[in-house]
Amino acid sequence: MKIILKEDVKNVGQRGEEVNVADGYGRNFLLPRELAVLATVKNVKQLNHHRKLMEDRNKKELKAARDFAEKLTKINCALKRKSGEEGKLFGSVTSQDIADHLKEVGIDIDRKKIHLEEPLKSLGTFRVPLKLHSEVTVDLKVTVEKE
């Protein structure tokens, strides 16, 4: 039986794939649970159309992320914090602090896209990776200065 998967099914295939399964497995398990649909001519055309739309949307998102990454490379994020004599901060700089500072500058970015392995706890200049898209990652220059 030829079917088109609507969801990922372990040991069968990924969402959107057209696969062959045993008749009983498809009829008694996959179809009633709405994990798949029969691979009719109409459903195959619909799947191809849906794939085309997803590819177009993904290309637009990728282009927008690359343009935004180019804009971010020109920005230096300078934060002022209180610190001790040895350059250790009283507190730390987190991804939320960086997101707030960027919002003040006019760049709205979700803090979850800022990938700090651990909060910054000393003065200096750091490279902080921002994951804007699955294929686009840019390093933001963050400078922590003494207040």
Q: What is the pTM of this model?
A: 0.70
What lies within 8 Å, CB to CB, of 32 at 6+ separation is none
Domain ranges of the chain: 2-65, 69-146
CB-neighbour burial class of residue 16 (10 A; exposed 0-12, middle 13-18, buried 19+): middle
Question: What class is the 69-146 domain?
Answer: alpha beta
In CATH terms, are 2-65 and 69-146 the same topology?
A: no
59, 42, 32, 51: which is closest to 133 by C-alpha? 59
Tokens of residue 87, six digits: 């350059």
Mind listing the pLDDT tens digit of every residue in the chain (147 residues)? 999 999 999 999 998 899 999 999 999 999 999 999 999 999 999 999 988 999 999 999 999 999 999 988 888 899 999 998 888 999 899 999 999 999 998 899 999 999 999 999 999 999 999 999 889 999 999 999 998
One-letter amino acid for residue 89 of the chain: L
**CATH number of the domain located at residue range(s) 2-65 in this protein:** 3.40.5.10
